[in-house]
Chain A
Amino acid sequence: MKILVCISNVPDTTTKIKFAEGNSSIDPSGIQWVINPWDELSLTRALELKDDASSGVKSVTVAHVGTAGSEPTIRKALAIGADDAIRINSNASDAYYVAAQLSEVIKKEGFDVILCGIESSDFNGSAVGGMISEFLGIPSVSSVSGIKFENGSPVLTREIDGGRESVRVPVPFVAVVQKGIAKEPRIASMRGIMTARTKPVRIYEPSNVENLTEIAGFEKPRPRAACKYIDPENPALLIELLLNEAKVI
Chain B
Amino acid sequence: MSVLVYTENWEGKFKKLSYELVSYASSVAEILNMKVTALSIGKADEGELKKLGIYGAAKIINVVSQQLTSLDNQAYTKVIADIALKEGSGIIIFSNNMTGKALAPRVSVRLKAGIGSGVSRLPVSLDPFTVYKRAYSGNAFAHVIIKTDIKILTLAQNSFDVVEKPTGAVPESFEIDVEESLIKTTVTDTQKQSGKILLTDADVVVSGGRGMKSPDNWAPLVELAALLNGATACSRPVSDEGWRPHEEHTGQTGKIIAPNLYIAVGISGATQHLAGVSSSKYIAAINTDKDAPIFEAAQYGIVGDAMKVLPKLVDAVKNMRK
Contact = CB atoms under 8 A, between A and B. Distances in A.
A238 interface: yes
Contact of A165 (B77, B190, B301): B190
* Most central of B103, B191, B298, B302 by chain A CB within 10 Å: B302
Given A139-B184, A170-B184, A134 B261 contact: no
A9 to B, nearest CB: 14
A248 interface: yes
A217 B312 contact: no
Given A176-B101, A212-B147, A220-B140, A167 B185 contact: yes
A9 B199 CA distance: 31
B174 interface: no
Contact of A169 (B184, B254, B312): B184
Nearest to B148: A212
Nearest to A243: B320
Contacts of A238: 284, 300, 302, 313, 316
Interface in B103-145: 103-110, 112-118, 128, 130, 132-145
B187 A212 contact: no
A118 to B, nearest CB: 7
Given A124-B134, A124-B137, A126-B105, A95 B115 contact: yes
Contacts of A81: none
A118 B147 CA distance: 24
A108 interface: no
B281 A248 contact: yes
Contact of A214 (B101, B147, B297): B147
Contact of A235 (B133, B228, B281, B316): B316
A142 B73 contact: yes
Interface in B64-93: 70, 72-74, 77
B299 interface: yes
A160 B154 CA distance: 18
B296 interface: yes
B299 A126 contact: no
A163 interface: yes
A161 B228 contact: no
A203 interface: no
A157 to B, nearest CB: 9
B276 to A, nearest CB: 11
B282 A248 contact: yes
B187 A166 contact: yes
B200 interface: yes
A215 B142 contact: yes
Bin the interface of chain B by size: 35 or more
Nearest to A169: B185
Contacts of A220: 140-141
B106 A133 contact: yes
Contacts of B73: 130, 133, 139-142
B253 interface: yes
Query: Taking chain A's interface residues, is the majority helix, strand, or loop, or is none over half, making it mixed?
Result: mixed
A213 B116 contact: yes
Interface string B249-279: 0001110000011000000000100000000
B105 A248 contact: no
Nearest to A136: B109
Contacts of A19: 140
Nearest to B247: A162
Contacts of B135: 122-124, 218
Contacts of A163: 190-193
A238 to B, nearest CB: 6
B104 A130 contact: yes
A242 B261 contact: yes
A138 B204 CA distance: 40
Contacts of B139: 17, 221
B272 to A, nearest CB: 9
Contacts of A155: 188
Nearest to A237: B316
Contacts of A225: 299
15 contacts: A99-B109, A121-B137, A134-B74, A134-B109, A163-B192, A165-B189, A166-B188, A176-B102, A213-B144, A215-B143, A235-B316, A236-B319, A242-B284, A243-B320, A248-B260
Please give me the 9 A-B residue pairs with the lowest Cβ-Cβ distance, nearest first: A232-B304, A130-B105, A212-B114, A142-B102, A163-B192, A236-B316, A134-B109, A139-B184, A248-B261
Given A219-B140, A227-B295, 8 more contacts: A96-B114, A126-B105, A173-B184, A229-B303, A232-B304, A239-B317, A246-B299, A249-B228
Interface of B: 10, 70, 72-74, 77, 96-98, 101-110, 112-118, 128, 130, 132-148, 154, 184-193, 198, 200-201, 203-204, 228, 252-254, 260-261, 271, 281-282, 284-285, 295-305, 308-309, 312-313, 315-317, 319-320
